[in-house]
Amino acid sequence: MTQKGPITILGVFVADTAYRAERQPRMGETILGNSFVLGPGGKGSNQAVAVARLGAEVHFISKLGEDAFADLALKTWADAGVTPAISRDPDSYTGAAYIFIEEATGDNAIIVSPGAARNIGPADIDAQADLIARSSVFVTQLEQPIDAALRALKIAKEAGVATVLNPAPAAPLPDEIFALCDYVTPNETETAELTGTPVETIDQAKEAGDKLLDKGVGTAIVTLGENGALIHGADGSSHVPAFDAGAVVETTGAGDAFNGGFAVALARGADPVEAARFGCATAGISVTRPGTAPSMPDLNEVEALLAR
């Protein structure tokens, strides 16, 4: 199917510093790690790379410093086919993240320092208002300030653009943001944070989904890791199972892969359930590879998995 218009993503780039070890060190303790990798990351940037790798037109709104990590960002986007819509702040730094990966499971723990992107404000969003308004899908997360996300969602909603909020990392949100979201895509932890309902079963995900709808969200899409995703709207619920594309190597970029795939399918006219299935397939491939942005699959790989 043909893409209706560009996908625009507001978010953060960070340089991922990824450490693999048997376990995390305790406070005051030093342990030896098994490996270290420096690579591109940040939820918004990862999602933009995922979209571009899937062959869709994507623009990424963010802010960088003037440093080597900014050079890494620009190269990452150029290689993937992401069009940057960025400003530079020479008085700050480009974001960075500490990622611990547990060797036995591939599970992770992360600290993000957004740097210059922490200073993205409504004025930066207004400078990109035309781009946002002519998009088919607008996506944002919560690594940049919430007032910037709120302003961008308002512009997109008023222009009739499909709006997706990936509420990660979990944070308190103003009540007005929910009605601006056609789709909200939290994982189990973020869903519990937003609704007060623990999510350990499909039924609990439905209960939490009802609470998100009551807040004004169009459709709640609760991502459930190895259990796929629940699509919960006013007309009912659908559960999309996860895809098994091979042994799990690292789960760090799975949520970003899902959101990127979901946005691409929406932009090409898929309904929410079809789009979530496409997102699950994208995520299913990404977890079989190390890294975040480098783990994102291309369109042929996702279509082959879906066909299988």
Residues labelled catalytic: 256
What element of type H or E holds 158? helix 146-158
Structure tokens at 282: 């994208």
- State the Cα angle at 23 between 40 and 166, rounded to 5°: 40
DSSP symbols for 95-135: EEEEEEEETTT--EEEEEEEEGGGG--HHHHHTTHHHHHT-
What's the CA gap between 27 and 159, in Å, rounded? 49
What element of type H or E holds 273? helix 272-286
Contacts of 81 (CB under 8 A, 6+ apart): 52, 53, 58
- State the Cα angle at 260 between 232 and 50, rounded to 5°: 160
